[in-house]
């Protein structure tokens, strides 16, 4: 294994779970999330030599993943001409435990958020430090905290509506 392959392997191992969660938050679909994860890391591999270390590598990878997800969603919307809010919990309610059902409901609610809100809340769930989230989102720390509070309120409302069905 050459040094570049070793560096890439370390980067992948350190970031792949968080990037998968980000992709899943955008798509609410395991297969699509896996495809987007692979596409993101293909772009990382192809552009690793261009990384200028002006930010943390995880921040750079998140930006690549977000752009990859947004491109995917635009393509899907053009193909389907409808909202991408699949309701996984309903189709699998008998098969999953309560906790898994709650997680599915949460991701279904996250899928209903605006793209920027999905990005922020997914990074919060992945326990990314707030200053890094603010840098990725392109907003101040103070503005980030306000946005997170509003996103949590919105998610609570969506989740409570979900519970009524």
Q: State yes or no: pLDDT of 86 exceeds 60.
A: no
Which residue is associated with the tokens 């605006």?
114
Name the region of 128 (left: φ>0; alpha: ψ -120 to 50; beta: rest): beta
150: confidence class by pLDDT, cuts 50, 70, 90: very high
pLDDT in tens, 7-66: 899 999 999 998 998 888 888 889 999 999 999 999 999 998 888 777 788 888 888 888
Q: What's the DSSP call for residue 48?
A: G
146: confidence class by pLDDT, cuts 50, 70, 90: very high
Q: What is the pTM of this model?
A: 0.58
Structure confidence at residue 14 (pLDDT)? 93
Measured from the Cβ of residue 158, the count of other Cβ atoms closer than 10 Å reads: 18
Helices (H), the chain: 3-27, 30-47, 57-80, 88-91, 98-111, 115-125, 130-137, 141-164
Considering the segment(s) 3-164 as one domain, its CATH architecture is Orthogonal Bundle (1.10)
pLDDT in tens, 88-128: 444 443 444 566 677 777 778 888 888 888 888 888 888 88
Across the chain, which distance is largest between two alpha carbons, in Å? 55
Give residue limits of the domains in the chain. Answer: 3-164
Q: What's the DSSP call for residue 49?
A: G
Range of lowest pLDDT (32-36, 114-118, 143-147, 148-152): 114-118
Structure confidence at residue 159 (pLDDT)? 83
């Amino acid at each position: 294994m050459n040094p570049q392959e070793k560096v890439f392997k370390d980067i992948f191992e350190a970031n792949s779970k968080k990037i998968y969660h980000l992709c899943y938050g955008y798509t609410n679909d395991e297969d699509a999330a896996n495809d987007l994860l692979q596409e993101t890391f293909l772009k990382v591999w192809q552009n690793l030599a261009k990384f200028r270390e002006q930010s943390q590598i995880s921040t750079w990878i998140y930006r690549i993943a977000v752009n990859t997800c947004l491109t995917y969603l635009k393509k899907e919307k053009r193909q389907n001409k409808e909202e991408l809010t699949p309701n996984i919990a309903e189709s699998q309610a008998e098969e999953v435990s309560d906790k898994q059902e709650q997680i599915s409901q949460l991701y279904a609610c996250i899928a209903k958020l605006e793209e920027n809100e999905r990005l922020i809340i997914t990074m919060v769930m992945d326990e990314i430090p707030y200053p890094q989230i603010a840098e990725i989102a392109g907003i101040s720390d103070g503005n980030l905290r306000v946005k997170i509070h509003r996103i949590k309120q919105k998610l609570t409302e969506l989740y409570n509506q979900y519970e009524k069905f």
